[in-house]
Structure 1
Amino acid sequence: MRSPNIRYLPAVDHLRAYAALLIVLYHGLHLFAYFARFHQPFGIDHWLQPGNVVAAALTEGHTAVALFMVLSGFILTHGSLDTDLDARGFLRNRLLRTYPLFLLLVFAGIAAAPGNFQWSSFLQTVFGFANLPGALVAPPFSSMLWTIAVEWQFYVLFPLLLMILKRGWAKNLAGLVAVLILFRWMAVVAGGNARDLAYTTIFGRLDQFLIGMAAAECFRRYPLSRRAGAWLAALSLASMVGALAAFNVAGGWPVVSTWKILWPTFEGLIWAAFVIGYIDLANDARGLWSRLLARIGEISYSIYLIHFIVITTMITFALPVVFSGHVVVDALLNTLFFALPATLLVSALTYRFIEWPFLRLRGRYRRDRPGAPVTPRTGPGE
């Protein structure tokens, strides 16, 4: 995603692609496997717990949301470290980036389930609180909208958070994260659901944005060689696979336990290390594989919002196909052979005809300081 506000980093688009592909595999695995076992719409009552470490990690592929959150904090901060921010221009660009496709899905959901429409839920959703109780419920069109609401809430906070962190990254980051964890614990003591507040709210996810912001400062201040970046990326990825496998053994996403108030922070730290290492490793990569990943990353927002609709539509038409008789293997093969190609096709269309016309309207929000390096113009405005 090119911008005059942020120097283009091809590896960031790679990372967006990885996160988008992971979320498709995650939902395809669960939805196809559940339907194959029970011939009913998906529920969390029979959570998959494969014995294989990689399969167990894919079963907890909701971690792709955490990677997206860390990336948001990273890339927005990366473009704002040596400049002052025009908050109005910044928020305008973010709405142009995210709102058109969001609204399309809102109205598609209303058209599909008009009986669910209420003015209060509609207004709550379109004004940025789709992640809270009372929002519009019109699956599959509304199923992924909650994460965009969390992103919007971060966008509103971002200019203020940037000013605070610039005055002392390590101290202020540690303090903010400590306060968030403490208040999550107190919310759980008061009767809150540790899983839900950590997973679906800005209260739980803000750690990951903040850690992504700090990662941008570390990336600038402590550059790594390609070899060091490769080691950091490999070690952090292996750590995440192992942690997700352990998470799955502990019961996985459905389990409600107090320790989950710490999980967003832990996820954010590992993904931030992976982001820094991977960008130092792969940002100068050339070749077809790099261009292909960058293209997938470019349409990753559409992939994220569209894939759930594609998978549920396929299930309506009697997929999955039985390949091996092994539920996990068959679910992944149906995802790779059918759901992923269809998602990429539909996402390319929504990107070109829904996202792109509005992306071209974005403008600059940087107020470059005298003597500060000017970000080269590399494409349409952020």
Structure 2
Amino acid sequence: MTPRLGAYVIGLDHLRAFAAVMVFSWHGLHQLGVPFGTVPNSWIASLMEEGWIGVSLFITITGFVFTIQTHGKKIEYFAFLKNRFLRLVPLIFLVTLYAVNVEGKSNQSLFLFFGLLGGGTVYGTWTLIVEFQFYAAYPFLRERLVFDSVTKTIGCCGLLLLFLTVLRVACFSTMGSAQNLAYWTIFGQGDAFIAGILAGLMFLHLRDHPPRSGTIVYVTSIAVSFTGIVCAAHWFNAFGGFYNQAFHPSRSVVWIFWPTIIAVLWASTLVFYCLLTLQRRDRLTRSIAYLGTISYSTYMLHFITLGLSDKVYRKFVDVRFFDADIWNSTAILLLFHYPITIAMSAISYEIIEKAFLQYRVPYLTERNPSSIQTDKVSPMAVAA
């Protein structure tokens, strides 16, 4: 089940693009004035209205990528961290510098790990702090989570999931709420990362041992898992969503188990979608994949471009597409705001991100003998 190093799994970038659109819609819809209590008639629309669950998809993808990229190999820890640093920090610094100078944010925000002490980050950089915690821990955790035995691997991953769940229970019993811990920290998002690891191992097995009528199996599995995501998002939306519950942070016990539920659903969708699209290379799939390639810039810049786009739209366009606020706002976001954000993201990726990514180094060695690979660094390995 050794992965083909350098192989490109195009479905990963499709799902990165989808996660970015979800988060973009979550921030954009409410910035345009859609109330947090809005419950769309269309269940699919709840995915956009509760687009914060896209963060869990991003983190599930990270666990998935690391697993299929490093399976059967030894990780050179500091080379691995160097690549992660080159991937994340330039844009974090740029966006934070912008926030400090333009919006008067505290200069304490320049300290990357200040979020560990609470606050101190700008825009959505809290997610990147959580991601970097996974980066720092993964090479060590992998040795205690991934084994030749499937039973042992599932058992150890299950124990870690149980450990995180108990911590959320403890938080709930102490503070009366588990929402902040479950969403904003590694103690909740860790479920998504672990689910991504298991999904990666499942992908490797099914890629090398495809089932009979594989396409039918994959399409059916995607339909079931994605339907589960849509139903979960709509139910959560009707339940009050992220902000519109009786208390905030929520006092519901749902937050103890929500990270596990959404992680399993995303992981299931991820593994089967990547298998289904593994051989696709037509123009449409490559175009969608590019949106995933630049999704990090999209995530980082949309906090800035949304405000600018809205002012330009209201001054020069100001067309109403639908009577219903949520559908009208969705149309404005996708037809006007999103293209502007994508254009800025493409510039950011091609000029800023790539300027640093070219200095990535190989970080995988053969377990026996120990010799660093000379293969070109896989784009999959650094895109998480």
Q: TM-score, normalised by structure 1?
A: 0.88
Higher mean C-alpha deviation, range 193-202 or range 51-60: 51-60
Counterpart amino acid of residue 80 in structure 1: T
Partner of 2:32, secondary structure, is helix
Taking the aligned partners of 2:32 and 2:119, their CA distance within structure 1 comes to 28
The answer on whether the counterparts of 2:22 and 2:47 sit within 8 Å (CA) in structure 1 is: no
Is 1:273 matched up with 2:261?
no
Classify the secondary structure of the residue corresponding to 2:365. strand
Unaligned runs of 5+ in 2: none
Please say if residues 86 and 356 of structure 2, whose CA atoms lie closer than 8 Å, have aligned partners that are also in contact: yes
Runs of 4+ in 1 over 4 A off after TM superposition: 3-6, 378-381
Question: TM-score, with normalisation over the residues of structure 2?
Answer: 0.87
CA-based RMSD: 2.3
Contact 2:297 2:348 survives alignment (8 Å): yes
Of the three residues 102, 108, 127, the one matched with 1:112 is 102
Q: How far does residue 191 in structure 1 lie from its aligned partner after superposition? A: 0.8
Encode CA deviations 1:143-169: one digit per residue, 9 max, x unaligned.
111111110111111111111112331
C-alpha separation between the residues in 2 aligned to 1:248 and 1:305? 25
Deviation at 1:182, TM superposition (A): 0.7
Q: Determine helix, strand or coil for the equivalent of 1:261.
A: helix
Query: Equivalent residue for 2:70?
Result: 80
Report Cα offsets for 1:235-285 as digits up to 9, x if no partner.
111110011111111111123122112111111101100011101111111
Question: Would the alpha carbon gap of residues 215 and 27 (structure 1) be closer, same or farther in structure 2, given more than 3 Å must change?
Answer: same
- State the match for 1:58 in structure 2: 48
CA distance in 1, matches of 2:31, 2:254: 27
Q: Contact 2:46–2:233 (CA<8 Å) still a contact in 1?
A: yes
Cα separation, 2, equivalents of 1:14 and 1:30: 25
Query: What SS does the aligned partner of 1:322 have?
Result: coil
What is the CA–CA distance in structure 1 between the aligned matches of 2:204 and 2:374, rounded to whole Å?
15
Asked whether the equivalents of residues 211 and 268 of structure 1 are also in contact (C-alpha less than 8 Å), the reply is: yes
Match of 1:122 in 2: 110
Distance 1:312 1:236 in 2: 35
2:13–2:292 CA contact under 8 A, matched in 1: yes
Q: For residues 235 and 276 of structure 1, what CA distance do their matches in structure 2 show?
A: 13
What are structure 1's unaligned runs of at least 5 residues?
Answer: 35-44, 137-141
8 Å contact kept, 2:362–2:375: no
Counterparts of 2:313 and 2:338, CA distance in 1: 17
1:221 aligns with 2:205: yes
Matched with 2:259 is 264
- TM alignment of 1:125-144, pairs within 5 A: 126=112, 128-130=113-115, 133-136=118-121, 142-144=122-124
| Counterpart-to-counterpart distance in 1, 2:194 and 2:77 | 18
- 2:145 corresponds to 1:162: no
CA contact under 8 A between 1:307 and 1:339: conserved in structure 2? no
- Residues 97-151 of structure 1, C-alpha deviation per residue, up to 9 Å, x if partnerless? 111011000100000133x4244x432xx2x343752314xxxxx2111111110
Report the CA distance shift for 1:4/1:151 in structure 2 as closer, same or farther (over 3 A): farther
Q: Does 1:290 align with 2:285?
A: yes
Which of 190, 195, 202 aligns to 1:211? It is: 195
Distance (whole Å) between structure 1 residues aligned to residue 260 and residue 374 of structure 2: 31
Q: Verify the 8 A CA contact 1:194 1:261 in the aligned structure 2.
A: yes
Identity level (%): 30
Task: Provide the residue aligned with 1:12 in structure 2.
Answer: 12
Deviation at 1:323, TM superposition (A): 2.2
* Structure-to-structure mapping, 1:331-346, within 5 angstroms: 331-346=329-344
SS in 2 for 1:49: coil
Q: Are the equivalent residues in 1 in contact too, given 2:5–2:378 (CA < 8 A)? A: no
Quote the Cα distance in structure 2 between the aligned partners of 1:252 and 1:221: 37
Which structure 2 residues correspond to residues 191-202 of structure 1 after superposition, within 5 A? 191=175, 193-202=177-186
Match of residue 67 from structure 1: 57
Say if 2:360 and 2:377, in contact at 8 Å, map to a contact too: no
Q: What is the one-letter code of the residue matched to 2:49?
A: T
Residue identity matched to 1:47: G
